[in-house]
Amino acid sequence: MKKYILTQFGNPVLRKEAKRLLLDTVHTSAFRQLVKDMFFTMHKEQGIGLAAPQIGKSLRLAVLGVRPTKFRPTLHPVAPAVMVNPKILHASREVEDDWEGCLSFPDGRGVVPRSTSIAVEYWDENGEHVQKTVTGFAARVFQHEIDHLHGILYVDRMRNMRTLCTLAEYEKRVLRFR
């Protein structure tokens, strides 16, 4: 299994509109290996989501899976998912503020408003069409990862830049009170 080096904020690949994948590509063994390596990299980095631009590939592909981590002990688990060419069909007007970080900016944390519910469609790792409604914290993770495929980073979504802080300050001032 391969652990990719992650691209960091400032790398132009994180600002590009990623390319659509063809269904033929999804059915190759190279693709299956890529997905495995992305999950492997995400788990090694203690992440809960990873988009292809974060490993330097400008493709509309992201993996996610939420399980409680050291940094987010109160996380609600979300089943692992592979998203190919995802599209948000509807996003609730109701939004919720919560803290976010990004593996491409490991030392930062900030408060980001996100829709509490989204309708999303994508192909899974087998090229099967999936359409579903995602709510709560999972909806936040989906929105963060899908943003990556459009060159959008969580700091772009922040309403109050004064909440931007380092991981150390976040742990000291926020995490210990959760």
The residues that touch Zn ion, with contacts defined as CB under 5 A, are 102
Question: 16: closest CA among 165, 147, 172?
Answer: 147
- Residue of minimal CB distance from Zn ion? 102
Cβ distance to Zn ion smaller for residue 55 or 84: 55
Provide the minimum distance between the beta carbon of 31 and Zn ion in the complex, in angstroms, as a whole number.
21
Provide the minimum distance between the beta carbon of 144 and Zn ion in the complex, in angstroms, as a whole number.
6
Measured between alpha carbons, how far is 166 from 3 in angstroms, rounded to an integer? 25
Number of residues written out for the chain:
178
Cβ distance to Zn ion smaller for residue 32 or 57: 57
Cβ distance to Zn ion smaller for residue 125 or 147: 147
Provide the minimum distance between the beta carbon of 58 and Zn ion in the complex, in angstroms, as a whole number.
15
Cβ distance to Zn ion smaller for residue 15 or 32: 15
Measured between alpha carbons, how far is 11 from 33 in angstroms, rounded to an integer? 24
Provide the minimum distance between the beta carbon of 39 and Zn ion in the complex, in angstroms, as a whole number.
15
Active-site pick, 17, 100, 128, 145: 145
For every residue of 37-75, DSSP letters joined together read HHHHHHHHTT-SEEEGGGGT--BSEEEEEE---SS-TTP
Look at residue 153 and give its three-state secondary structure: coil
CB 78 within 8 A of CB 141: yes
Is 145 one of the catalytic residues? yes
Residues noted as catalytic:
145
